[in-house]
Structure 1
Amino acid sequence: MIDWLFLGVALAGGAGAAVRMLLDGVIKQALGNSMPWATNIINISGSFLLGGLTGLLAAHLVAPELQAVLGVGFMGGYTTFSTASVETFRLMQERRWNAAWVNALGLLVVSTAAAAAGLGLGRLLG
């Protein structure tokens, strides 16, 4: 017997990772690679979208199963904490201390604010 929720999360995770890879290339081509702009933009937008999805779930506009597929699956594949950590460490290895601190703390603060904004918008729509 197939667990359809498991399969949905797995497929959505793959789709999220593919979208991240494509978007990463587009952003790096547009903004360069001196700072990890692509990873930051992807993680901030993912935080906003997951916050919005969570707000819609709280307003009972999204089924828990859909939230699992989109939130755990797609957004889990789309966002990437590990890449952000490695890129911050790379900045540290290059002795770009200010850039490393701005990247690490800035991403944390802005991603959290984006998640809160998305949550607020999702609840407002509900």
Structure 2
Amino acid sequence: MTVLLIALGAALGAPLRYLTDRAVQARHDSLLPWGTLTVNVVGSLLLGALVAVPAGPAVTAALGTGFCGALTTWSTFGYETLRLTRDGNRLAALANVLLSVVAGLAAASLGYALARAATG
């Protein structure tokens, strides 16, 4: 049953990742992969909030592992950073790494704090 919940969450998260990435990236004429950054930061915020609330294993599997796992994308982040480096855009690659890590951790912390405040 857990595997089905993960698959259901992923079936929602993966297309949302793709559509969000394309919509955000289409609005930016930049070397930085803003679409990937956006989905990773939003996913970190959601996962931070999920960790803060008392959720059962089924909810954690569906939303945490399935939805957030499919919404966020470490592999694409890695690929895009490597591509920037290989194309000679080392400063943009470094900016991508720093922005992604700092914004992701900040978003997870914010999500956690907001959920804790909302649940008392």
**TM-score of the superposed pair, with normalisation by structure 2:** 0.93
1:32 corresponds to 2:29: yes
Aligned-residue CA RMSD in angstroms? 1.2
Number of equivalences: 119
Distance in 1 between the 2:47 and 2:100 partners? 16
1:53 corresponds to 2:87: no
Runs of 4+ in 1 over 3 A off after TM superposition: none
Distance in 1 between the 2:72 and 2:34 partners? 13
Q: CA deviation at 1:33?
A: 5.2
Q: CA deviation at 1:93?
A: 0.8
Which residue of the partner structure matches residue 12 of structure 1?
A: 9
Which residue of the partner structure matches residue 89 of structure 1?
A: 82
Q: CA deviation at 1:5?
A: 2.1
Aligned partner letter, 1:97 = R
Matched ranges for 1:44-123 at <5 A: 44-56=41-53, 60=54, 62-123=55-116
Query: Cα deviation per residue 1:94-116 (whole Å; 9 max; x = unaligned)?
Result: 11111111101221111011101
Structure number with larger C-alpha Rg: 1
Which residue of the partner structure matches residue 124 of structure 1?
A: 117
Distance in 2 between the 1:123 and 1:94 partners? 43
Distance in 2 between the 1:11 and 1:69 partners? 7
Q: Aligned in 2, Cα 1:14/1:32: closer, same or farther, shift over 3 Å?
A: farther
Which segments of 5 or more consecutive residues in structure 1 lack a partner in the other structure?
A: none
Q: Matched residues, percent identical?
A: 37
Aligned partner letter, 1:34 = L
Query: Cα deviation per residue 1:42-71 (whole Å; 9 max; x = unaligned)?
Result: 101110111011111xxx2x3231122100
